[in-house]
């Protein structure tokens, strides 16, 4: 049976993806800051902040320790504050980059032992805003553009370990 960890499973793309994979018979490990919806029948759910290294180290890694490994990791968790550059606080800026970008780095780093040499895949959910955008989304745009750059370097670095790394860029 195939297995995947999906962050941000309680709403939107993450929720739809997790439901589809469960319906196809995958073992789906999910994460979110919200409580898992009753209609989502995950193999395991970890409530926590993917932007915190301690969450990966003390919750996710031990939760996967006795598993055979992972066939995939989908970094989907994201936040999107809407404010101009001038009105964006440093706190909002840093939080957006932490969730949207740093969490992809942390997940990739901590899940590497579970993904390597399995022909596994990492999919980072970026955004059309990484390439074409409008005003009022500076932190979000910077984080999603950074996620594309991170995806490219991760694809290069992890290829020898038989891990494919790609990004998708959904839009409205």
Query: Could you tell me the two tokens for 7?
Result: 């962050």
> Which candidate in 26, 73, 140, 150 is catalytic?
140
Phi, then psi, of 13 in degrees rounded to 5:
-60, -45
Strand order in the sheet with 163-168: 44-47, 27-32, 3-7, 72-75, 120-125, 163-168
CA distance 108 to 130: 20
Query: What is the sign, positive or negative, of the torsion defined by CA atoms of 61, 94, 35, 12?
Result: negative
170 neighbors 127 (Cβ within 8 angstroms): yes
Give whole-number Cα distances, 113 to 56, 69, 107, in Å. 13, 8, 11
140 is catalytic: yes
CB 30 within 8 A of CB 4: no
Catalytic residues: 140
């Amino acid at each position: 049976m195939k297995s995947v960890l999906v962050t941000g499973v309680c709403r939107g793309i993450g929720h739809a993806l997790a439901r589809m994979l469960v319906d196809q018979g995958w073992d789906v490990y999910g994460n979110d800051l919200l409580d898992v919806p009753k209609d989502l029948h995950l193999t395991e759910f970890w409530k926590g902040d993917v932007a915190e290294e301690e969450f990966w180290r003390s919750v996710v890694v031990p939760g996967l320790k006795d598993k055979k490994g992972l066939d995939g990791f989908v970094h989907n968790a994201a936040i999107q504050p809407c404010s101009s550059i001038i009105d964006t606080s440093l706190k909002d800026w840093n939080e957006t980059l932490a969730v949207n970008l740093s969490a992809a780095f942390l997940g990739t780093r901590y899940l590497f032992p579970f993904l390597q040499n399995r022909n596994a895949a990492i999919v980072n959910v970026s955004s059309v805003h990484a390439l074409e955008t409008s005003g009022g989304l500076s932190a979000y745009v910077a984080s999603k553009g950074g996620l594309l750059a991170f995806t490219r370097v991760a694809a290069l670095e992890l290829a020898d370990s038989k891990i494919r790394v790609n990004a998708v860029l959904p839009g409205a």
